[in-house]
Amino acid sequence: MKRTHFIYILLSIVTFLTTLPSFAQDRIQEAINSDFLIKAVSEYDAGAYDSAAKILSELLARDPDNDAACYYNGLVLQKKGDVEKAEIYLKKAVELDPTNYWYRYSLAQLYAATSRGELTVDIYEKLLKDFPSKSELYFDLAQMYSAQGEFDKSLKTLDEIDTIFGKTESSAIYRFNLLRHTGKDDEAFRSLEQYNQEYSSPVVLTTLAEWKVSMYDDSTAVAYYDEAVDLAPDFLPALIGRAEVFRMSKRYDRFFPALKQIASNVNLPVEEKCDYLMALVRNSTPQFLKSFTPQMDTVINNIVKVHSSDSTVLNTAAVYFYSTGRNENAGEYFKKVVDMYPSSEMASIYYLEFLMYEQNWAELSKQGRIAFQRHPDNVNMLEMASVGDFNSKEYEKVLEICNDVLRLFPNDSSATLKAWSTAGDIHHMLGDSKKAYRAYDKALKINPDYIYVLNNYAYYLSIEGKSLKKAYDMSRKTIIAEPDNATYLDTFAWILFLQNKPLEAKPVFKQAMLYGGKESPVILDHYAEVLYALKEYDLAFFYWNLALQKNDDEIEGLQEKIQKRKDALK
């Protein structure tokens, strides 16, 4: 219903009411108010808080003492973030009907949300007197007392819960943790053990076992875990806890059967099983995995056999085989998940990342394009295919992907920025500086502070000896953004040198040396040129010798150039 139409109906109803006797007007008005309230509550439940607020505002304008309208207006205002006004309306609702449980409970929740613990506790204590059968009040109050450091009151409330509602697993665990928090470890253990004697519980038994593990009493811990598993054979925390005791104590003759039991149990939650196995693989030393390869293989093969079509299990197997150096097996599992779940983006991403780590560039190019056909909204698939093309030196294919990204994702600034940047790099590699600089200009229009492009643009200009002032301004931005980046420092210092400022370039190169510049033959060569220009010949040839040692055909003719410098001095 349109808003104007709704208001028109309201005005018509008001006009009609004025012609009726007063008792009839009251009854009709109550019915109308009720309809308005129902509409407001419906809007509130649907999350349309602005609409609910407008209806409630009109209702309260005509009936300011409508307690339900005040209550819901308070809830709406709280959802909209106006806590102060929300408190006013909730308080008024409580004043109008102090017997209403929800009015008072919601006001207490508002106090709790605004960190007013004393006011929250005060309402809860009064609610308990009026509504002693509300068990959730006791639990909330126990937690509030604990948060305020009133641990005795919290424990007393737990006793009341046990007396009124009977002992429960949750109250027993909470009492245990509370007693431990207050330093009463022995009393905490006795309370939990006593509960277990009366009401045996796998959760309580597992908690007792964990306590014994922390006390280095492994045998008692295993006994508790065994009892928990006897009660609930599919209770994973007990199964994992027991296995961990065996592993940490290096009782591998019992650890691997326990691990196999976990892997083979079809009733256990798959994700939690895989989480444990993944943590085990990642946290184990290479020596452990190597020493127990047959046992671990058996565990992995068992879980795959039990859950042969589960993607989480297959990915776990892939990670395990990759971690143990059997990359071919890992690749088979990653590929199997993709084939079984072609609609899964994550499956494709895992497989593409694996191909990238394997440096299987041709397959990465191929599978990246296939993945993009399946997921045409995910630009990352194309970008990963582009990585494969680049490393295969298929530069024209890289440019094709850049053009595809620009055409298909024109509003994705991150994707278009990378596309223009990559296109600039490729055009420069292909010897087309004009297209390279045009692409870089497009990238910098999207993000003028994109330091990767700023550095490359500046460096290529410096190589050509063009627009050195522009190159200087761009390069300066990069070293301000990353003053410990040796590559950016090298570009800036080299531009200074080309501007006939070797004295200014020298300290910048010295800084580059501190941040890894000694590993780059190009940076070492540049620094040597600066030192040579400053007539610090011995130091210059020292750095040229270092450059020769690091050079792997990165700088052509370096040996000949150095010899010419030596000959010039003679």
> 442: which DSSP letter?
H
d(CA 345, CA 338): 9
Amino acid 368: pLDDT: 96
| Residue 334: partners with Cβ closer than 8 Å, 6 or more residues away | 315, 318, 347, 350, 351, 354
pLDDT at 25: 43
Residues 6 or more apart from 167 whose CB is under 8 A from it?
195, 198, 199
CA–CA dist 144, 231 (Å, integer): 34
Q: How far apart are CA 261 and CA 193, in angstroms?
A: 28
Which segments in the chain show pLDDT lower than 70?
1-33
The amino acid at residue 390 is F
For residue 82, what is the DSSP state? -
Give the Cα-Cα-Cα angle 117, 123, 124 (nearest 5 degrees): 85
500, two tokens? 């006939």
How many residues comprise the chain? 570
Both tokens assigned to 518: 């000694």
Q: 395 is written with which tokens?
A: 């530069």
Among candidate residues 215, 214, 171, 179, the one with its CA nearest the CA of residue 195: 171
Helices (H) and strands (E) in the chain, counts: 33, 0
Identify the residue whose tokens are 């102060």: 84
Taking a C-beta distance cutoff of 8 angstroms, is the pair 351, 335 a contact?
yes
Question: Which DSSP state fits 167?
Answer: -
Q: Which two tokens stand for residue 153?
A: 């009151």
C-alpha to C-alpha distance for 460 and 61, rounded to whole angstroms: 71
> What phi-psi label fits residue 219: left (phi over 0), alpha (psi between -120 and 50 degrees) or beta?
alpha
Q: What whole-number distance in Å separates Cα of residue 459 and Cα of residue 451?
A: 12
Number of CB atoms found within 10 A of residue 19's CB: 8
The pLDDT of residue 239 is 96
The pLDDT assigned to 33 comes to: 60
Distance CA(362)–CA(422), nearest Å, equals 19
What are the pLDDT digits (tens) for 83-119?
999 989 999 998 999 999 899 999 888 988 888 888 8
Note whether 246 and 254 are within 8 A (CB): yes
CA distance to 116, 466, 518, per residue, from 545 (Å) = 71, 30, 11
**CA pair distance 501, 505, nearest whole angstrom:** 6
Cα–Cα dist 212/102, whole Å? 44
- How many CB atoms are closer than 10 A to CB 122? 13
* Rounded distance between C-alpha atoms, residue 482 and residue 7, angstroms: 61
Q: What is the DSSP string of 212-271?
A: HHHTT-HHHHHHHHHHHHHH-TT-HHHHHHHHHHHHHTT-HHHHHHHHHHHHH-TTS-HH
CB 506 within 8 A of CB 531: yes
CB 95 within 8 A of CB 74: no
Rounded to whole angstroms, the Cα distance separating 120 from 131 reads 16
The whole-angstrom separation of Cα 274 and Cα 270 is: 6
Give just the sign of the alpha carbon dihedral 369, 370, 375, 376. positive
- CATH code of the domain made up of 1-99: 1.25.40.10
Tokens for 196, please give them: 């277990």
Chain centroid to CA 438: 37
Please, are residues 348 and 381 in contact by the beta-carbon 8 Å criterion? yes
The kind and range of the H/E element at 66 are: none
Phi-psi map region of 378: left, alpha, beta (phi>0 left; psi -120 to 50 alpha): beta
Domain range annotation of the chain: 1-99
- Is the separation of the CB atoms in 66 and 74 below 8 Å? no
Q: What is the pLDDT of residue 28?
A: 45
Distance CA 33, CA 70 (A): 13
Rounded distance, CA 462 to CA 470, Å?
10
Among 16, 96, 81, 66, smallest CA distance to 57 is for 66
